[in-house]
Amino acid sequence: MRLSLLFLLLAGLSMAEEAKVRTLSYRLDTLAMEGVLVMPAGAKGDIPGLVLFPDWMGVGPVAVGYAKRVAEWGYAVLIADVYGKGVRPKDALEAGRISGYFKYHVPLLRQRGAAALSALKREAGIDTAKTGALGFCFGGGAALELARSGAPLEAVISVHGNLFTPYPNDAGHIRGKVLVLHGADDPYVLRDQVFNFIEQMRNTRVDWQLVHYGGAVHAFTNPDAGSNPRSGVAFNPTADRHAFMAMKIFLAEAL
């Protein structure tokens, strides 16, 4: 009987410590957007806030999983809706088509990122002087583009993200610290793109880091990416663990 009571108490405590997840609607001019806001359990007072840019599948379970992991560290996390309300790719083919549009319309990508950042700052309980952006795959590139726009971000993280930009000189507009976590064997982010990113950052005064994870390919933090590195896309539990440890340390220092 005592064991059953203890189990129920512990289960109740665990449920009480769950992050709070809710839909957050916002707009960019006439475009309606619908992101997801994840608040850490027991948050009190104003806390740092992060805009999380999801991979090319947009707002969904994988992005929510990422946001919950980061919220556990004491941050409010808004999953940005880059595509617009109701635009949710049904498969990789459609995701590639939709996300590909933004690679050729970077100013629009930056505007939609800025709209998410503004929406986050309007929420009660957010320390508006301590904000950052992070993203995964397509979202990693989106986070970097928001930073290159000169947005007031204290921290920027790209995880297995796109490093190419048509506006390389805009690296000088970045205002916060930058952390890029990259799979050393990622076939979708070409070596020339990595080299060019390094050269862009070396020509700035930005505090930046680039970490390569040996044996990791694209999407190495995504549990839905499969387990076959030969495909070029695969979950790597070791790289995943190390990446989230690196993010936690980086954010603690930057925010």
pTM for this prediction: 0.92
Contact 219, 225 (CB under 8 A): yes
Residues in the chain: 255
Q: Listing from the earlier edge strand, what are the strands of the sheet with 20-28? A: 20-28, 31-39, 76-79, 47-53, 126-136, 155-159, 177-183, 208-213
Q: What is the pLDDT of residues 6-33, one digit of tens each?
A: 333 344 444 346 899 999 999 999 999 9
Both tokens of 130, joined, read 């301590």
The reported pLDDT for the residue numbered 45 is 86
Contact 23, 35 (CB under 8 A): yes
DSSP reduced 3-state for 128 = strand
The reported pLDDT for the residue numbered 7 is 38
Contact 242, 230 (CB under 8 A): no
The reported pLDDT for the residue numbered 8 is 34
The reported pLDDT for the residue numbered 115 is 98
The reported pLDDT for the residue numbered 4 is 44
Both tokens of 193, joined, read 């793109």
The residue whose two tokens read 């070396």 is: 202
Q: Could you count the other beta carbons within 10 Å of the beta carbon of residue 74?
A: 15
DSSP state of 20: E
Confidence label for 2 from pLDDT (cuts 50, 70 and 90): very low
The reported pLDDT for the residue numbered 23 is 98
Adjacent-strand bridge partners of 213: 183
d(CA 75, CA 132): 10
Q: What is the pLDDT of residues 238-250, one digit of tens each?
A: 999 999 999 999 9
Both tokens of 105, joined, read 């319309």
The residue whose two tokens read 């490093």 is: 163
Exposed e or buried b for every residue in 15-24, given b needs 16+ CB within 10 A? eeeebeeeeb
Share above pLDDT 70 across residues of the chain, in percent, rounded to a whole number:
93
